[in-house]
């Protein structure tokens, strides 16, 4: 079955036809973090969606070249550095590091390149593009010395967001700093230096200043992926004005279609509300880990809902994630045992075998909810077969092979490189003894002691199993 994606540009599900790929990979650009504070879990929802998309394309045999930019100069980074009283680069460096640390915790595959906007070679590229736009009449320098894109000269402006430009016009010029522009919707390509910028400035034909946020992505994308790219992703809040502006800038310069498929990830809500620091429901990855959850559990919680559906993050949802992963762990442990020893006392010739349903669900606009539904239905059925001793070693191996393949997408297997500490093992044995003696109080106490050591004991049909639990990533 062919891959299909919902293209924001056409607002339709389209078959994925990247054209002639001989000698080249899929070109994928994903808008990265603005490093003025630690990214929140809503940002990471989008990065996990992009991770799943890349992994699925690779499973389907495509090679992917993915670029994720780091926005390290714009209004918020400059303000943050000024308030902290440190140079811009020093200020942004800490959040860059935090971003990579969190991405690693969430098992997000690294992009091939992470260009930073302040790299002189991209600043040069931005200046080159702005000059080209000016010479084509698509940009102008205003009285405030800043350079703006002239949206009235780009008829397609608004097409990605399905935005009516006349609405934009009717709002009139409201803000003081908008007076210099020809049209309220004209956006800055180059922002003239002012005192508040401190020593953050670069020389340009229009005087000292710094690039606008939108041109950064157009320039880095063109520098690393060429004039035309296959897939561009981001969160829905990037659609307007950021991605609309990227199209206008890139196509304004090249005259070619900038992006073939636009994919956008829906919002993350917390307890049904928009996440906001003022509401006290704003969480970073370390905030979630501090509550005793693992990176693997958070990955699952952020991954499990279809990317175009808003995801409601709750602590109950985190517990469900833990439970779901526990089911997968137990299932794999049973399969491994049977694959080695076999348990088929009554092997059934038509025992359920893995099918392609999981992958086909992902072909359908990355429908992870349906794919996971299929996974858990398979777990339920094969567990029943194992309970009834109907699973032979070959079938168990086939399921393990299937898991290995789909886990290249999910990346949800428990860390196996961690040995169970002797102390934890002993406590688990004591607890098992207490349970056999039906001393529930002692059994619960021992469970808590095990949990305090960062481990979790689960009672399965094959006896107690220890997994890394609270407080470990
Ligand atoms: Zn961008």
- Determine the average pLDDT of the residues in 124-142: 98
CA of 372 to the centre of ligand 1 (A): 30
- What pLDDT does residue 86 have? 96
CA of 118 to the centre of ligand 1 (A): 14
Alpha helices in 344-459 (DSSP H): 357-363, 368-387, 393-410, 422-436, 440-452
Span 31-61, pLDDT tens digits: 999 999 999 999 999 999 999 999 999 999 9
Say if residues 216 and 156 touch (Cβ distance below 8 Å). no
pTM of the predicted structure, to 2 decimals: 0.87
CA of 217 to the centre of ligand 1 (A): 5
Span 248-291, pLDDT tens digits: 999 999 999 999 999 999 999 999 999 887 888 999 999 999 99
Query: Which pLDDT band holds residue 229 (cuts at 50, 70, 90)?
Result: very high
- What pLDDT does residue 153 have? 95
Neighbouring-strand partners of residue 5: 14
Span 157-166, pLDDT tens digits: 999 999 877 6
CA of 430 to the centre of ligand 1 (A): 56
- What pLDDT does residue 166 have? 67
**Between residues 278 and 212, which one has the greater pLDDT?**
212
CA of 466 to the centre of ligand 1 (A): 43
CA of 87 to the centre of ligand 1 (A): 24
- What pLDDT does residue 422 have? 82
- CA–CA gap between residue 336 and residue 406 (Å, rounded): 16
Give the pairing of strands 273-274 and 311-313: unpaired
Cα 217 to chain center, whole Å? 18
Task: Count Cβ atoms below 10 Å from residue 215 Cβ, excluding itself.
Answer: 29
In the chain, % of residues over pLDDT 70: 93
- What pLDDT does residue 351 have? 66
Contacts of 21 (CB under 8 A, 6+ apart): 62, 63
**Between residues 211 and 424, which one has the greater pLDDT?**
211
Average pLDDT over the chain, rounded to an integer: 92
The CA-atom distances, in angstroms, between 360 and each of 51, 311, 357, 372 are 18, 22, 5, 12
- CA–CA gap between residue 211 and residue 98 (Å, rounded): 24
- Determine the average pLDDT of the residues in 421-447: 90
- What pLDDT does residue 469 have? 65
Task: Count Cβ atoms below 10 Å from residue 333 Cβ, excluding itself.
Answer: 15
The CA-atom distances, in angstroms, between 106 and each of 22, 134, 213, 332, 358 are 33, 43, 27, 21, 22
**Between residues 470 and 104, which one has the greater pLDDT?**
104
Which residue in 203, 275, 352 sits closest to 45, CA to CA? 275
């Amino acid at each position: 079955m062919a891959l299909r994606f919902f293209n924001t540009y056409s607002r339709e599900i389209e078959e994925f036809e990247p054209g002639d790929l001989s000698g080249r990979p899929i070109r994928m650009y994903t808008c990265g973090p603005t490093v003025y504070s630690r990214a929140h879990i809503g940002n990471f929802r989008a990065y996990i969606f992009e991770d799943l998309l890349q992994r699925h394309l690779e499973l389907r045999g495509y090679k992917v070249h993915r670029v994720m930019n780091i926005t390290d100069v714009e209004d918020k980074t400059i303000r943050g550095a000024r308030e902290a009283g440190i140079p811009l680069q020093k200020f942004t460096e800490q959040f860059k590091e935090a971003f990579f640390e969190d991405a690693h915790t969430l098992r997000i595959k690294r992009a091939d390149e992470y260009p930073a906007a302040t790299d002189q070679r991209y600043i040069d590229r931005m200046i080159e593009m702005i000059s080209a736009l000016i010479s084509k009449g698509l940009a102008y320098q205003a009285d405030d010395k800043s350079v703006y894109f002239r949206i009235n000269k780009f008829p397609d402006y608004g097409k990605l967001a399905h935005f009516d430009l006349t609405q934009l016009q009717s709002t009139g010029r409201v803000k003081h700093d908008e007076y210099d522009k020809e049209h309220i919707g004209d956006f800055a390509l180059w922002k003239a230096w002012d005192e508040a910028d401190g020593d953050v400035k670069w020389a340009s034909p229009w005087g000292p200043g710094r690039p606008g946020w939108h041109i950064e992505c157009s320039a880095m994308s063109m520098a690393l992926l060429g004039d035309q790219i296959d897939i561009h992703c981001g969160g829905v809040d990037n659609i307007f004005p950021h991605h609309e502006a990227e199209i206008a800038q890139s196509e304004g310069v090249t005259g070619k279609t900038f992006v073939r498929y636009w994919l956008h990830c829906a919002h993350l809500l917390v307890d049904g509300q928009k996440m906001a620091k003022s509401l006290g429901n704003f969480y970073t990855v370390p905030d979630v880990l501090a509550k005793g959850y693992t990176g693997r559990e958070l990955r699952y919680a952020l991954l499990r809902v279809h990317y175009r559906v808003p995801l409601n993050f709750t602590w109950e949802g985190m517990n469900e994630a833990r439970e779901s992963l526990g089911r997968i762990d137990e299932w794999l442990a049973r399969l491994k045992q049977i694959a080695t020893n076999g348990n088929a006392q009554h092997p059934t010739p038509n025992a359920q075998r893995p099918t392609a349903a999981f992958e086909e669900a992902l072909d359908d606009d990355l429908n992870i909810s349906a794919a996971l539904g299929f996974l858990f239905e398979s777990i339920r059925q094969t567990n029943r077969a194992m309970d009834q001793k109907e699973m032979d070693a070959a079938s168990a191996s086939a399921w393990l092979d299937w898991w290995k393949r789909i886990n290249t997408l999910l990346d949800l297997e428990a860390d196996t490189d961690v040995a169970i500490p002797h102390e934890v093992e002993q406590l688990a044995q004591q607890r098992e003894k207490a349970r056999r003696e039906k001393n529930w109080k002692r059994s619960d106490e021992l469970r808590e002691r095990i949990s305090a050591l960062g481990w979790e004991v689960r009672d399965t049909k094959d006896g107690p199993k220890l997994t890394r639990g609270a407080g470990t990533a």
